[in-house]
Amino acid sequence: MKTTLFIIAFLGVFVLINMYISRRYIQHLHLDSKQKRWFRYFLYFNYAGIVLYMLGRYSGEFPNWLFFFVSLPIGILFLLFCTAIFYDISRVLLKAAPIAPKRREFFKKTLDISSFGLAFALSAKAVYEARFVKLEKVNIKIKNLGQSYKIVQISDIHIGGLIDAKFIASLVQRINLLQADIVVITGDLVDIKLSQAMPALAELQKLNSKYGSYFIVGNHEYFHDIDAIISAVKSLGIRVLENETVYIGEATQGFNLVGVYDIFGYRVLHHLPELEKALLGKDDRSPTILLAHQPRFIEEVTSGVDLMLSGHTHGGQLYPFRFIVKLQQPYIDGLHQHNDALQIYINKGTGFWGPPMRLGASSEITEITLETK
């Protein structure tokens, strides 16, 4: 039922976006009626792709080549929408500008051509950028750490559609070459039915690190039987941190690794994050690293944590969307000093959700080196 409501709301939003593009962009272009009609046909065709995407996403029946093509319309429409807003504002300002009519007409035609070219160029660049998962290296100084440790963080893989067993196998191969002390997966690992995700999940069994792999749930796990996903991940030899702490390294030389459920649990009233419970039993002589899927969980961290590792934001995924994400999350990506005692690092996501497109927010594997301070 919740999935059905989400799909209806999702498709409804894109109907409104189509209407805006049609009335505030296409209607004002220097095109004849036939050309405008063909442009609107493109919008209808694009919207049909979005509908097929939602069917393929949750049925898992589409071959990858088809899923790739029906995934693109979401990103194309979003970038076209952003272009339409830019065009609409520019057109209104140009109309009010105190310039000669002929010059205004020249600038208007230039605006028409450049706006269309901009939308096409951004879409092409976004598809190109999504092809690569970058290795981001970051050194973080931690107080009371006995020795240096290497953490590899991946997040927001969103297994499903184009994120399949082949993608995960390649990812695991790259991670193993880094020879990490631990690997952490900070949520949104599975985004389809578990039975369909298992071939890809099984590839994670091949992860190698000195002290093992650790996982916390993200908000998307709540959509696909969270208990079943947790059990499946555990069966792969990956430790799932469920409001609990483990110690990494030799006594007094290592650090506490804490993991909590996602704050989405507050909405569904199960699997709620409980930081106080999670911190019980930690070694107070050693620093503490907290895994929490959403950066805004940092608002609940008052003391006892030195570094928080999060994901969720995708770095905005498509750059204009970054400003919307910023309304909900205190940090979007990278390393930040939250206060005197606490730092936070946000992974931009190792996979993607929706279109195979990224603009100004590359997918990443994060190699974090913890250094003594």
Using only the alpha carbons of the chain, give its radius of gyration: 23
| pLDDT, tens digit (0-9, with 9 covering 90-100), for 309-367 | 999 999 999 888 888 899 999 999 999 999 999 999 999 999 988 888 999 899 999 99
How sure is the predictor about 191, in pLDDT bands with cuts at 50, 70 and 90?
confident
Task: State yes or no: pLDDT of 1 exceeds 60.
Answer: no
| pLDDT, tens digit (0-9, with 9 covering 90-100), for 64-79 | 777 788 888 988 998 9
What is the structure's pLDDT at 319? 83
What is the structure's pLDDT at 60? 61
| pLDDT, tens digit (0-9, with 9 covering 90-100), for 252-310 | 899 999 999 999 999 999 999 999 999 998 999 999 999 999 999 999 999 999 999 99
Q: How far apart are CA 294 and CA 304, in angstroms?
A: 18
Q: Rounded to two decimals, what is the model's pTM?
A: 0.89
Task: State yes or no: pLDDT of 105 exceeds 90.
Answer: no
- Which superfamily does CATH assign the domain made up of 134-372 to? Metallo-dependent phosphatases (3.60.21.10)
Percent of the chain clearing pLDDT 70 (strictly above) = 98
Q: How many other C-beta atoms can be found within 10 angstroms of the C-beta atom of residue 139? A: 11
CA distances from 311 to 74, 140, 204, 246 (A): 22, 17, 19, 20
Three-class secondary structure of residue 197 per DSSP: helix
Q: How far apart are CA 238 and CA 240, in angstroms?
A: 6
Q: Order of strands across the sheet with 307-310?
A: 244-248, 255-259, 288-291, 307-310, 343-346, 334-337
What is the structure's pLDDT at 269? 95
Task: State yes or no: pLDDT of 198 exceeds 80.
Answer: yes
- Report the pLDDT averaged over residues 89-118: 85
How sure is the predictor about 119, in pLDDT bands with cuts at 50, 70 and 90?
confident
Q: Delimit the domains of the chain by residue range.
A: 2-129, 134-372
Which of 97-106, 125-134, 183-192 has the lowest average pLDDT? Answer: 97-106
- Report the pLDDT averaged over residues 37-66: 82
- Residue with structure tokens 């071959």? 63
Which of 31-35, 163-167, 245-249 has the lowest average pLDDT? Answer: 31-35
Q: How far apart are CA 136 and CA 334, in angstroms?
A: 9
The average confidence (pLDDT) of the chain is: 92
Give the CB-side neighbour count of residue 328, counting CA atoms within 13 A.
11
What is the structure's pLDDT at 61? 66
Q: Which token pair is 100?
A: 């000669």
Bridge partners of 256, per DSSP, are 247, 288
Task: State yes or no: pLDDT of 63 exceeds 80.
Answer: no
Percent of the chain clearing pLDDT 90 (strictly above) = 64
Task: State yes or no: pLDDT of 236 exceeds 90.
Answer: yes
